[in-house]
Structure 1
Amino acid sequence: MTAWQPGMTITAGRLMEGPDPVITTTGVVAATGFTLSSFVGRKCGGITQVELAITVATDIAAPSASENIGDTLACTLPEGYRPLGVVSTSWGDGSQAGEATIGTTGLVTIRSVGYATATPAGRNIRISETFITGP
């Protein structure tokens, strides 16, 4: 970000500069049945991007072959890296994918898995999302 000084010339390039991003790699709390593999959170100008990988420690299984999994809490994002409203996103592990939500309190919930199959322990679920967090 430009630190404006007396006598500086206003240019398009200087006007287009934004604030420096704030980056963190800490503060995520894994829920029971998961372990955190990695996390990066970036904030800049009211926009937040989160990228996380969580490893399934306990199988996530659907009640039956014709039903999907129940809502499963995976982790909680740190304060300051949470959306203003509930965000629906997707997750994937290279073999399976499904829907997840990120709530205003930072709760990341796995809501479905494709084909209502089990997600075995050891799978590394990845979620990446960008959302508005305000100024």
Structure 2
Amino acid sequence: MTQETFPDAMKIFQDPAKQVSAHYMVASADGYIGQFVREKDVAWHAGNKDYNNRSIGIEHEGWVDDPKWFTDEMYASSAALTAAVCDRYGIPKNRDHIIGHVEVPGTDHTDPGPLWDWDRYMRLVNGGSRVHRRA
């Protein structure tokens, strides 16, 4: 979770002085996906240089301690994006390979937080949902 609204997090990602970015961010209200860094490039999202160098960062609009941000649209859209990334790179669709920032060794991140429903998310990732993006 960005601990910010989508527009505010977008401004932060676009400010080089902040030294933080993500490949993608998913909006809470409608599941809109914004891409901020090309997948072939490194994004600074995981709080660990090694993980940044070998992962695709997907951030989610909202706050870790406020479940109203965890909408059906966000779960579905994010899971579809994750499934598509896994399919593109041959990444197994399991919790050993799909982790939250809180699970990255040496990080100070807490997202997606204890209220994120990993069981639901992984069911969606493995269901092959389609990715929807606004133009």
The TM-score bracket by the shorter chain reads under 0.3
Point out the structure with the larger strand share: 1
Point out the structure with the larger helix share: 2
Q: TM-score, normalised by structure 2?
A: 0.26
